[in-house]
Amino acid sequence: MKLLAPKSLEEALAMLAADAEIVPIAGGTDLLVDWPSNLDAHTRTYLDLSALEPLRAHRLNDHSLVLGALSSYWQVIEDAAVTAAFPLLASAARQVGAVQIQTRGTWAGNVANASPAADGVPVLMAYDARVELVYKNETETVPLAAFYTGYKQMRRTSGQLIRALHLPRRRYKLERFVKVGARRAQAIAKLGVAITCSGAGWRVVASSVAPTVCRCPALERLLASGAPIRCPEDLLPAIDRDTAPIDDLRSTADYRRRVLARVLFATLTEEPTA
Ligand SMILES: Cc1cc2nc3c(=O)[nH]c(=O)nc-3n(C[C@H](O)[C@H](O)[C@H](O)COP(=O)(O)OP(=O)(O)OC[C@H]3O[C@@H](n4cnc5c(N)ncnc54)[C@H](O)[C@@H]3O)c2cc1C
Instruction: Identify the structural domains of the chain with CATH numbers, from first to last.
Output: 172-269 (3.30.390.50)
Residue nearest to atom 2 of ligand 1 (CA): 97
pLDDT along the chain (274 residues), means of 10: 95 94 96 86 94 96 98 98 98 96 98 97 98 95 98 93 98 96 85 97 97 98 96 98 93 95 94 53
Cβ of residue 119 lying under 6 Å from some atom of ligand 1: yes
pLDDT of residue 274: 44
Ligand 1 atom index nearest CA of 161: 42
**Cβ-count burial of 263 within 10 angstroms (0-12 exposed, 13-18 middle, 19+ buried)?**
buried
Cβ of residue 97 lying under 6 Å from some atom of ligand 1: yes
Cβ of residue 101 lying under 6 Å from some atom of ligand 1: yes
- Give whole-number Cα distances, 80 to 33, 89, 98, in Å: 31, 12, 20
Whole-number Å distance, alpha carbon 62 to ligand 1 midpoint, is 29
pLDDT of residue 271: 63
pLDDT of residue 272: 56
Question: What is d(CA 55, CA 49) in angstroms, rounded to the nearest whole number?
Answer: 9
Contacts of 204 (CB under 8 A, 6+ apart): 126, 193, 194, 195, 215, 216, 219, 220, 223, 242, 264
Edge-first strand listing for the sheet containing 45-48? 2-4, 45-48, 23-25
pTM: 0.96
Residue nearest to atom 48 of ligand 1 (CA): 113
In the chain, which residue ranges form alpha helices assigned H by DSSP? Answer: 9-18, 73-78, 80-85, 87-94, 99-104, 107-113, 120-126, 217-225, 236-242, 253-269
pLDDT of residue 187: 85
Q: Counting every residue, how long is the chain? A: 274
Q: Do residues 192 and 207 make contact, with C-beta atoms less than 8 angstroms apart?
A: yes
Ligand 1 atom index nearest CA of 104: 26
Neighbouring CB atoms inside 10 A of 144's CB total 24
